[in-house]
Amino acid sequence: MMAPVDYIRDPNEIYRRSFEAVAVETDISGIPPEGVPLTHRIVHACGMPEITRDLRMTNHAITAGRNALHAGAVILADCNMVASGIIRDRLPNDNAIICTLNDARPKPGNTRSAAAVDAWNQHLENAVVAIGNAPTALFRLLEILQDGAPKPAVILGFPVGFVGAAESKEALTLSNLEIDFITLLGRRGGSAIAAAAVNALSSDNVI
C-alpha cells in the first residue's frame, strides 16, 4: 500500500504558489512590460520558464489583442483543444469562439487543418487568431493573407511538432504583413499555450 502523501489541497494556494514560482523562475528581460502577464501565463501552461528566450511578440500585440477582444472580436481557433482551453467567463465581450475543423473537407494533398482556415475569411477581419496545433493551419493563414484576405487584429501562432512547426513560425515572423503577432520559435507550442495566450489577453489582472 502506498504511504500517505502530504500535498497542497487548497486550489487558491496552489494557484498563488504556482504563479509565485513562475515569477521567480522566469527571465523576463527583453519582454515588454505589457507582455509579462501573458508570458507568465504561457510559462504556467507548459511548466517551462526557459521558453521565454524563444518568445517573440510585436510591439503592439498585447494592446491589439486586448482592444480587439474588448470590441467583441471573434476568436478563431485551429482546433477544439484550443477552443476548449479558453476561459469563456473571462472574455470581456461574450466573444464568439469559432473552430471550423470538424467542417473542413480537404482536397487531396492538403490537411484538414489547412482546409479549415479557408472557412475563416468571413470572420478574419479584426479577429484574434489562436493556432496551437497544426503548422499547416498557420502556413495556410499566411497564404490567404498574402492573397488579400481580411487582416486579423493579432495572430497567436503556437503550432507544435517536428514537421513544419518551426518553419511556419519563422514564416510568421518574416511575413511583413503588418499584423501583430505573438509566437514561440522552434518546435515547442501547443493548444494549452495558445489558449493561455488568449486567456491572458482576456484578463486585466496581472495573472
Distance separating alpha carbons of residues 32 and 194, to the nearest angstrom: 19
Distance separating alpha carbons of residues 168 and 159, to the nearest angstrom: 8
- Does the annotation mark 44 as catalytic? yes
Question: Per residue, what are the HEC states of the chain?
Answer: CCCCCCCCCCHHHHHHHHHHHHHHHCCCCCCCHHHHHHHHHHHHHHCCHHHHHHEEECCCHHHHHHHHHHCCCCEEECCHHHHHHCCHHHCCCCCCEECCHHHCCCCCCCCHHHHHHHHHHHHCCCCEEEECCCHHHHHHHHHHHHCCCCCCCEEEECCCCCCCHHHHHHHHHCCCCCCEEEEECCCCCCHHHHHHHHHHHHCCCCC
User: Which is the catalytic residue, given 40, 44, 70, 123?
Assistant: 44
Q: What angle do CA 70, 84, 17 make, to 5 degrees?
A: 80
Q: Which residues are catalytic?
A: 44
